Amino acid sequence: METERKIRICIMVSSLGIGGAERSSAILSRMLSDIGYDITIVSILDHVVYNYKGDLVNLEKLTATRKGLRKRWDKFVISRKLISKNKFDYIIDAAPRPSWFRQWFINTFVYQKTDTIFVVHNYNLSSYFPNSSFLGKKLYQNSYELVGVSKESVLHFKKKYQLQKGRCIYNAFDEEYWNNLADEEVKVPSEPYILSYGRITDESKNYKFLIQSYTTSRLPQKGVKLYIMGDGPDKEMIQNLVRSCKMEENIIFLGFSDNPFPYIKKALFATLTSNYEGFPMVLVESLAMGTPVVSVDCKSGPSEIVVTGDNGILVPFKDQESYKNALNKMIEDEEFYNQCVEGTKKSVTKFKIENIAPQWQAILPPKI
C-alpha cells in the first residue's frame, strides 16, 4: 500500500542565529517537523545557533567564493533551482524583506507560483513592507497568506496597506525543551538579580531607558543586581553609560548565550523596555520559567501577554517614573510579587506548541 506523501515546506530565513525572529523560525521548523511535515530550511546567512529540524540549505556557505552582486545572484539561482526541483507545497518566508524590488523579484522568479506564506515578525513594518501603501499592497496581494505574530501587528499592516489577508498566529514554545535547557549545569549568580536579555540595539530595545530606570530605583541600594545578557552594535555605548552612572558593580554584562534559560529561571524577574516589538518571546520564555516580568506597553505584543498583578507589571509606554516604581514594587511588595509568580506559567499556556501547531495545520492542508 502506497504511503501518503508528506507535505513539503520550505522555510526561508535570514539565519538561525541571534534574534527573536530567528529563534522563532527554528522552533517553527521543529514544530512542523514533529507533526509530520517535510521541512527544508533555506538560510541566507551562515549564522546557525538555534536548534532546528529539517534539511538546512546554507546559501552563504554555498556561495562562499563569491562576492558582491555575483554572490547575491548565485543565492537567487540556487534558491530558484531548489524550489523548482523539490516542488514544495508551501513556502514560509520568515526573513526580513526591506527591499521592495528585491522581494518582488524573489516572489516572481524564485517562488514563482508556489503558495507562499509571509510572516511579519515586528510592529515596525520597515523590514517587511515598502513605505508606499500601493507597492505594499501589490507585493502581498497575491500571497497565499500573511501571518503576523501579534493581533495588534496584523491589524496594523492590514489597515496601512489595505490588505484583505492577514491572521495572527503567535510564536510557539516547547515546554519540555525549554525545561531541559533550564536544567543544564550553568554557573548562575547566587546573588539576587533581575535580567534583561536579547540583542543590544538601543534604537529598538531602549536599554538607556532600562539603565536610567534601574539606576534611579531602590534596587541598587537593596543589593539587587541588573544582569544584561546579549551582544549587539550598541553594547559598548550602553557599557559606557553604565560607567558614567558609576554602576559597574550593580549592572553586569554577561554576553550572548544560546541558552539563557538557567539565568531566566533564577532571576527575580525579567525586564523589557523596547520601543517596538512583534511578539516578544523574552516575555513568554520568562513566564514559562516561572519568572514574572516588568514590561513597557510598546507596540506590539506585551499587552497580549502581560497582565498586571497576574504575571508581572505592564507599564505605560516610555513612562520612566512608572517603570522605576514597578521595579521597586516587585522587590518591596512580597504579596504582590508572589501573586505574580503564581500566575506566570498558566498565563502562557495558550502559546504552547500543542496549542499553536493546529493553527499552522489549518493553513497548511494537503494538496488535492
How many CA atoms are closer than 13 Å to the CA of 120, on its beta-carbon side? 30
Q: What gap in Å lies between CA 88 and CA 197, rounded to an integer?
A: 36
Tell me what pLDDT residue 3 has.
Answer: 54
| 225-229 sheet: strands from edge to edge | 251-253, 225-229, 193-197, 270-272, 293-296, 312-315
**Mean per-residue pLDDT for 327-351?**
97
Residue-level pLDDT at 367: 83
pLDDT at residue 142 is higher than 90: no
Average model confidence (pLDDT) across the chain = 94
For residue 55, the cross-strand partners are: 40
Q: Say if residues 60 and 79 touch (Cβ distance below 8 Å).
A: no
pTM over 0.85: yes
Q: Residue 2: what pLDDT?
A: 45
Q: Are 25 and 94 in contact (CB under 8 A)?
A: yes
- For 152-194, how does the pLDDT look when each residue is reduced to its tens digit (9 = 90+)? 999 999 999 999 999 999 999 888 889 999 999 888 989 999 9
Is the pLDDT confidence value at 78 over 70? Answer: yes
Q: How far apart are the first and last CA of the chain?
A: 19
What pLDDT does residue 327 have? 98
Question: Any residues with CB less than 8 A from the CB of 270 and at least 6 apart, and which?
Answer: 194, 195, 196, 197, 264, 282, 283, 286, 291, 292, 293, 294
pLDDT at residue 98 in the model: 87
Domains 8-172+352-363 and 175-349 fall in the same CATH topology: yes
Render pLDDT for 51-69 as a digit per residue (tens, 0 to 9).
Answer: 899 999 999 999 999 999 9
Interhelix angle 133-140/151-161, rounded to 10 degrees, is 110
- Looking at residue 122, the DSSP 8-state letter turns out to be -
pLDDT number for residue 141: 85
Report the pLDDT averaged over residues 283-311.
Answer: 97
The predicted model gives 80-87 an average pLDDT of 95
Q: Which residues pair with 295 in a beta bridge?
A: 272, 314
State yes or no: pLDDT of 273 exceeds 60.
yes
> What CATH architecture does domain 8-172+352-363 belong to?
3-Layer(aba) Sandwich (3.40)
Task: Reply yes or no on whether the pLDDT at 200 is more than 60.
Answer: yes
In this structure, what DSSP letter does residue 348 have? T
pLDDT at 1 over 60: no
If you count DSSP H runs as helices and E runs as strands, how many of each does the chain have, helices first? 15, 13
Indicate whether 4 pLDDT > 80.
Answer: no
Of the candidates 135, 142, 184, 197, the one whose C-alpha atom is nearest the C-alpha of residue 160 is 135
**Domain range summary for the chain, segments of one domain joined by +:** 8-172+352-363, 175-349
Burial of 191 (0-12, 13-18, 19+ CB in 10 A): exposed
pLDDT digits (tens, 9 = 90+) for 6-34: 999 999 999 998 777 888 999 999 999 99
Q: Concatenated DSSP letters for 226-243?
A: EEEE---TTHHHHHHHHH
Class of domain 175-349 (CATH, top level): alpha beta
> C-alpha grid cell for residue 99?
527591499
